[in-house]
Structure 1
Amino acid sequence: MPYSPVTFLSRATLAAAAVFSLIGHLNTAYAADRVIVLDSGESELSLIDEATHKVVGTEPTGKEPHHLMITPDGKSLIVADSVSNNLMFIDPHTGEVQRTVDGIEDPYQLGFSPDHKWFVTAALRMDRADIYHYDGTNMTLVKHIPLAKTPSHMTFGSDNRTVFMTLQDSGELAAIDLPTQTVLWKMHVGNEPAGLWMTPGDKYLLVGMTGEDDVAVVDWRKQQIVKKIHTGRGAHNFRNLDDGKHVVVSNRVESTISIIDYTTLTNVGDITGLMPGPDDMELTPDKRYLWVGFRFAKHVGVIDLTTRKLIDTIAVGRSPHGIYFDNRAPVIAPNPD
C-alpha cells in the first residue's frame, strides 16, 4: 500500500526557560543522573534525582501519558499522550519539551523496529495498530490495522519484519507483517495478555497474563503455547535484567515481582514486600537496582537486586507508569550572578 500523503509534521512547542519548574536565573553544572517517571493519572512527568531519590520537579504533559521511548538517535524521549492524541518529544537530560507531534491517535504503547524504519503505536481504545514510516524526524502514517480487541503491548522480531501485539480483551496474540501491513495470524493465549518479551534468538515469546497468575511461553512459529510459568496474580510487564539469563515480570494484583530464568523457562524467585500494583520497571545502568512504578500507590520503588528487597519508595503523582533513566543529565544550579 502506498504511503498516506499525510505526514504529521512536528509543531514546535519549545518551553524556553521552563525545565520542571526549576528555572529562574540558572546555570548548568556537571552531570548528575536523572529519572523521568510518567504520572499517567496526573498528566505530568516527575523528575527524580537518582542519587537522593528526591522529586526535583514536574512538567505537564498531555492526557494519560502511559509509555515512553528514546528516539534512535538518543536526542529525544518520546512520551505518548494517549487521550490527547499526540507525542511529546522532550530532552532526555532535562525534561524540557522540544516539540509536540499532533494527530497520532490514541498512542497507548509505542515502539521502533530494530532497524528504526518502522514506528508502531497500539491504539488501545480504538482497537487497532497504526504503522508509520520513520525517516529519523517525522512519522508518516502508512496504515491503520484493525485489531479486536484492546491492543496494548508489543515487541519486534529481529528480522525487522514482524511486530507482535497482545490484545487484552480478546485474549489473543497477533503478528503483523510490517512491509505489507497485514495481520499474519492471531492466536488465543488466555485471559488479558499484556506484556511481551522475546527470548534470545527469537525462540519464544513470553506473555504476561494479567487475567491469570502466569507467563505463557509461546512458540510463535508454530503458534503454540509450550509452557506456562506460574508467577503471581496479574502477571503484567517485563524487564530484562541484562545478565544473559533473567527477565523479571511484575505481578500487578499479587504485588510481587517474579524472576524468570529464560534459559530454563522457570520462576527462580519472587520479590515480595512491595506496594500495591507494580507495573513498569527499569534497571539502573549499573544493574544493581530495579525501579518500579506502583500504579495503585502513587509511589515509585527502588529494589536492591542483590538482596531482592525494596529499599526505598518515592512519592509521585497518581498512576505512575513509564520510567526512564538518563545518565548524562546536567545539574541545574543557581547562577552565581
Structure 2
Amino acid sequence: MMPGSRVRRCAAAGVLLLAATLTGCTGTHTAPRHATARHAAATTHPSPAPAGLPGMPPVADPHNVYRDAGANMLAPAVRHDPPLVYVPHNGSGDVWVIDQRTFRVVARYPAGVEVQHVVPSWDLRTLYSTDDVGNHLRAFDPRTGKAGRTIAVVDPYNLYFTPDGRYGISVAEDHRALYWYDPHSWAQRAVTPLPKCAGADHAEFSADGRTAVFTCEFAGAVAVVDVASRRLLRMVDMPRRYTHMGPQDIKLAPDGRHWYVADCDAGGLWVLDGAARSVQRFVRTGACAHGLYFDRPARRMFVSDRMAGSVSVLDAYTARPLATWHLPGGGSPDMGNVTADGRQLWLSGRYDDVVYVLSTSDGRLIRRIPVGNGPHGLCVWPQPGRYSLGHTGITR
C-alpha cells in the first residue's frame, strides 16, 4: 500500500474518532514434524489446546493451528465452488475473475474506486471486495463467481472476521480505527480508535482468538487489541524505523509461539513473542517483504519480496531461510494465496499489471497473466479450512 489520498485525509481522523467515541457508534491431514528437539518433544507430549474465545471453533492441534486448512480439506459448503481467482485493482476499480484451470480471465466486474482486497466471509459463503475510497464492499457469490450487492462500510481498506464469527472488522486506514460490524446485517456495532496506528493495514489473531494484532504501515508499529472487549491493549514499536512503508502483512506461527511481521522498508520480517509484547529478532528476506503465506502442511512460509521480484521461502516454525525464488525478468509480487491442493502460489504483480502463478515445489513460474491496473489483494478460491479470518483467505 502506497500513501496517497487516504493518508492526506488522516488529518481529520482525530475528529472523526472523537465523535464516534462520544456517540457510541458502534480429508485427513497430519500435523507437521519439525526438526528441532523442542518441537519433537512438544509433539511427543502434547499440551492441551488453549481455551478459545467463546463461540470460536476449538483448536484441534495447538502445534499447528492451520491443521484444518490442509491440502484439499474443503468444508462441505465450498466443495463444489468453481476454482477461480478474484483479482481486485487499485487503479481500474474493478475485480477480474480468472479460471484456475485455464488461466483465462472469464469475467470483469466494476467494484468501486480503489479496490484493495477480496476477502472470504467467516462462514466461507461470500467473498467481499473492499473499496476504502468508495466506502463500501461488493459481495461475490463463490458458487457462481458473479458479483452481487454493494454494502456501505466505513473505509474498508482491509476486512477481517473475529474467530467466533461475531464481528466483521473494517480496518479503516484513513480513520486510524477499527469499525466493528454485524457480519450479517452489516449494522455498525462499535469503533476502536487507534490514534497512533497510522496506516492500519493487516491483521492476525492469536491461537485462542482472544488477541488480534494489527500492523501500522506508516507508524512502524503494531497495535494489539483485545477481541472480547474491542479495546486497544498496547502499541509495539519495531526496533528500527525507516521511511513510511512498514510493517505490512502479519502471520501467527503454526504453534502460536511467535508472530511474523513483514516490513517492506526493512526488507524482512520482525519476529514478535507469542504474547505480542516485544520484538525478539529480525529475519532478512528481500527488498520490500510484503505478503506472508503458509504451504498447506504449514511447514514452509512464502514471503513476497515486492521490490526484489522474488519469493523467500522460510521454515514456518523458525523462520530459517530455505530458498529464494526469483521471477524471470523480475516483477513486483505482492498479495495472494496458495491453491486448495497446495501446488500453486498465486500473487498479484502490483506494479506490473499481471498475476504470477508459481509452483510451490520449486518456485517455477507457471504463468504470467495480464490483468487490470494495479492488482492488489487477490483471493484464490476455494480455500480449505473450517472458517475464515478474512484478508485474502486466512483460514483455520
Q: TM-score range by the shorter chain?
A: 0.7 to 0.9
**Aligned partner (choices 174, 189, 195) of residue 141 of structure 1:** 189
Asked if the contact 1:93–1:326 (Cα under 8 Å) also holds between the matched residues in 2, the reply is no
Flag the structure with higher strand content.
1
Structure 1 range deviating more: 292-301 or 256-265? 256-265
**Aligned partner (choices 256, 259, 263) of residue 313 of structure 2:** 259
Which residue matches 1:199? 253
Is 1:177 paired with 2:237? no
CA distance in 2, matches of 1:132, 1:160: 17
Asked if the contact 1:131–1:178 (Cα under 8 Å) also holds between the matched residues in 2, the reply is no
- In structure 2, relative to structure 1, the CA distance for the partners of 1:237 and 1:272 (3 Å cut) is same
Is 1:168 paired with 2:217? yes
- In structure 2, relative to structure 1, the CA distance for the partners of 1:98 and 1:218 (3 Å cut) is same
Which residue matches 1:101? 151
TM-score (norm 1): 0.84
Is 1:211 paired with 2:265? yes
Q: Deviations over 1:117-174 (max 9, x none)?
A: 122121112222223344x443433124133311111111233322111111110111
Q: CA deviation at 1:281?
A: 2.0
Letter in 1 for 2:298: G
- In structure 2, relative to structure 1, the CA distance for the partners of 1:231 and 1:101 (3 Å cut) is same
Is 1:290 paired with 2:345? yes
- In structure 2, relative to structure 1, the CA distance for the partners of 1:288 and 1:109 (3 Å cut) is same
Alignment of 1:222-261 (within 5 A): 223-261=277-315
- Matched residue count: 303
Letter in 1 for 2:234: W
- Secondary structure, in 3 states, of the residue corresponding to 1:253? coil
**Aligned partner (choices 89, 104, 114) of residue 139 of structure 2:** 89
CA distance in 2, matches of 1:317, 1:270: 27
Q: Which runs of 5+ in 1 are unaligned?
A: 7-29, 329-337
- Secondary structure, in 3 states, of the residue corresponding to 1:201? coil
Flag the structure with higher helix content.
2
CA root-mean-square deviation = 2.2
Letter in 1 for 2:318: T
Aligned residues with identical type, % of pairs: 25
CA distance in 2, matches of 1:253, 1:71: 30
CA distance in 2, matches of 1:98, 1:270: 40
Is 1:324 paired with 2:390? no
Letter in 2 for 1:291: W
Which residue matches 1:186? 235
Q: CA deviation at 1:5?
A: 7.0
CA distance in 1, matches of 2:217, 2:175: 13
- In structure 2, relative to structure 1, the CA distance for the partners of 1:53 and 1:126 (3 Å cut) is same
CA distance in 2, matches of 1:96, 1:74: 15
Q: Which runs of 5+ in 2 are unaligned?
A: 1-20, 27-79, 384-396
Is 1:39 paired with 2:93? no
Is 1:158 paired with 2:245? no
Letter in 2 for 1:119: G
Asked if the contact 1:204–1:217 (Cα under 8 Å) also holds between the matched residues in 2, the reply is yes
Q: Deviations over 1:209-251 (max 9, x none)?
A: 1111111111152622212111001111111112231111111
Structure 1 range deviating more: 221-230 or 49-58? 221-230
- In structure 2, relative to structure 1, the CA distance for the partners of 1:327 and 1:193 (3 Å cut) is closer
Letter in 1 for 2:186: N
- In structure 2, relative to structure 1, the CA distance for the partners of 1:222 and 1:67 (3 Å cut) is closer
Asked if the contact 1:112–1:119 (Cα under 8 Å) also holds between the matched residues in 2, the reply is yes
